[in-house]
Amino acid sequence: MNDGGWLLLAILMSSLGPGLAIFFLPERRYGLRTLLNLGGSGTKLLLIGWLLLGVLRGDEYHFSVPLLPGIDFVLAADALSLLFATLSAVLWFVTTVYAIGYLEGSPRRSRFFGFFSLCISATVGIALSGNLITLLIFYELLTLATWPLVVHRGTPAALRAGRLYLAYTLTSGLVLFTAIVWLTLLAGAESFVPGGYLGDLATTHETALKVLFVMLMIGFGVKAALVPLHSWLPIAMVAPAPVSALLHAVAVVKAGAFGIVRVVNDVYGAEVAMELGLAAGLVVVAAITILYGSIQALRTDDLKQRLAFSTVSQVSYIVLGVALAGPLGVIGGLVHLVHQGITKITLFFCAGNFAETLGIHKISELDGVGRRMPLTMLAFTLGALGMIGLPPLAGFVTKWHLGLGALEAQFHWVLAVLVASGLLNAAYFLPPVIRGWLGERRTPWHEHLVEHSGPTRFETHWMLLFPTLFVAALSLLGGLLAGMSLSPLDWVTLIVERDYSIPGFAP
C-alpha cells in the first residue's frame, strides 16, 4: 500500500458501505434510504472528480494487499480506468435518481437498492482493478449482484431471464477464471501495463496464447454480448427500466467491453495481438455482431427489445475500435464506451418513461406520443440520432474516428460495415421517432401513472423526467463540445497519447 491508495478504497466504499447499510433498512425508511443512496453516489462523484484531477496531473494511485503468495489484490488508477469509472459514477447518480422515482411505492426497495449499490461498487472495482485477478474478482461480483436485479419483479419471465443470465455469465466466468489462472501460471500475476506484459511468451508459447485469447474473449464476450454469446441480453430486458439502463449503459455490457480493452491493450498489447492474428479475428467477430444486432433490432416491435439488440450492435463498436489496434481506431472505440453509455441510457430512460406514464411498450403504440410527452420524445430523438451517428451528435464522433482507424489499419471493408450499420441504425431508429412526432393518436391515452399516484406537474414524474433530460443533454454536448478539454474525446486522446508512443502521431 502506498500514497493515494486510500482514495481508491474510499471510492469503492462510497457505494459499498451505503449499499450494505441499505440491506438492513426496514422498507418504510424512505427518507434515510434516499439519503444513503444520494449521499453515496454524490460522494463517489466528488471522490472520482478528485482522482480525475490527480491523474490528469500525473499522480500515481496504487493500493495492494496480498491475496495469496505471489498474487496481490491491486487497485490502481490510470487514465483508462478513470474513463470507465467516471462514466459509471455519473450515470449511476442519474440512474439512482431515476430509480427512486421509478420504484416509488413498489415493494422490496431496500433489497433493490442494496444490490444496486453492490453493482456499482463492482463496476467501479472493475474500472480500478490493477491486474487480471482483481478484475476477475469484481467481474464475478458484478454477475452475482446483478442477478437479483434482473429477477427483481419475481414474475416467471423475470426468473427465466435471470436463469439464462446466470447460465451464460457463470459459465463464461468459469472459462475466464480458468484462462486467468493459466495465464498467471505462464506469465505471473503482473499488473496491467500499456503494451502488455507477455513479452517473449509470444514466441515460445504461441499456441497457448492463442487459446488463452479465445478463452478470455469468451469470458468477457458474454457480458459484452458478442455474437453468438449475446442471447441473454435481449431476454434480460424484462427487468425494470433502471436495471436495463444499468445492464446496457452503466455496468454489465460495459464491463465486458472494458475487459476486452484491458486484455488487448494492457495484457497482450496491440502488437502481440496483431502478430498472432488475434486482433484481425476480433475485428471480424465485432463486424458480424454489429450487423447481426442491427438486423435483429429491425425485426422486433417491442421498444425495449429493439434497444437491447441495438446495444448488441453498438457495444461491438468499442470492440471493433480496440481490435483495429491503431491509435485512431482505439480513440473511436474508447470514446464510444462513453458515447454509447450516455446515448443508450437516454433511450432506456425514455422507454421507461413511456411505459410508466402511458403503458407503452411497443413501437406501434408510439403514434402521437410527441404531443403528450414532448420533452421525453425530444430526448428520445436526440438519443436515436446520436446512435445513427448524425453530426454533431456524440455517435458521429465515434464513427468518424472508427472509419479513420479502419483506413489506417488497412481494413477497408470495415468502412462498408460502418456505412451499412449506419443505414440499419437509421432504419430501426427513425420509425419510432417519426411515429412519435408525426403519428396521430385517435383514442385517449391510458394514463397509467396518473391513475396510480395522482396528477403530475410535468408530463411525467419529475424524478423520471429530469434524469432523462440530463443524459440527453450530455449526449448532445458530448458531440458538440468534443473539442473542449476534458470532453470524452479529449480524455480518450490523452489515454492514447500516454499509452501509444507512436512517433509523429497527432490526433
Cα 337-341-345 angle, rounded to 5 deg: 170
Residue type, 229: L
Min separation Cβ 294 and other proteins, Å: 33
- Whichever of 70 and 454 has its CB closer to other proteins, that residue is 70
- Whichever of 214 and 415 has its CB closer to other proteins, that residue is 214
In this structure, what C-alpha cell is assigned to residue 373? Answer: 410527452
Q: What's the CA gap between 377 and 414, in Å, rounded?
A: 33
- Whichever of 115 and 354 has its CB closer to other proteins, that residue is 115
Min separation Cβ 278 and other proteins, Å: 21
- Whichever of 23 and 50 has its CB closer to other proteins, that residue is 23
Point out which residues bind other proteins (CB under 8 A).
23-24, 65-69, 111, 133, 136-138, 140-141, 143-144, 148, 151-155, 159, 162-163, 166, 170-171, 173-175, 177-178, 181-182, 184-185
- Whichever of 143 and 421 has its CB closer to other proteins, that residue is 143
What are φ and ψ of residue 225, in 5° steps? 60, 40
Per the CB < 8 A criterion, the answer to whether 11 and 124 are in contact is yes
Min separation Cβ 129 and other proteins, Å: 12
Task: Quickly list DSSP for 362-395.
Answer: BGGG-TTHHHHSHHHHHHHHHHHHHHHT-TTSHH
Helices and strands counted in the chain (H then E)? 22, 2
* Helix, strand, coil content of the chain in percent (nearest 5): 75, 5, 20
In this structure, what C-alpha cell is assigned to residue 410? Answer: 488497412
- Whichever of 66 and 105 has its CB closer to other proteins, that residue is 66
Task: Quickly list DSSP for 332-349.
Answer: HHHHHHHHHHHHHHHHHH
- Whichever of 56 and 67 has its CB closer to other proteins, that residue is 67
Min separation Cβ 215 and other proteins, Å: 11
Q: Which residues pair with 131 in a beta bridge?
A: 191
Min separation Cβ 74 and other proteins, Å: 14
Q: How many residues does the chain have?
A: 507
Min separation Cβ 237 and other proteins, Å: 18
Min separation Cβ 257 and other proteins, Å: 21
CA distances to 40, 88, 93, 227, 240 from 23, rounded to whole Å, are: 14, 22, 19, 36, 19
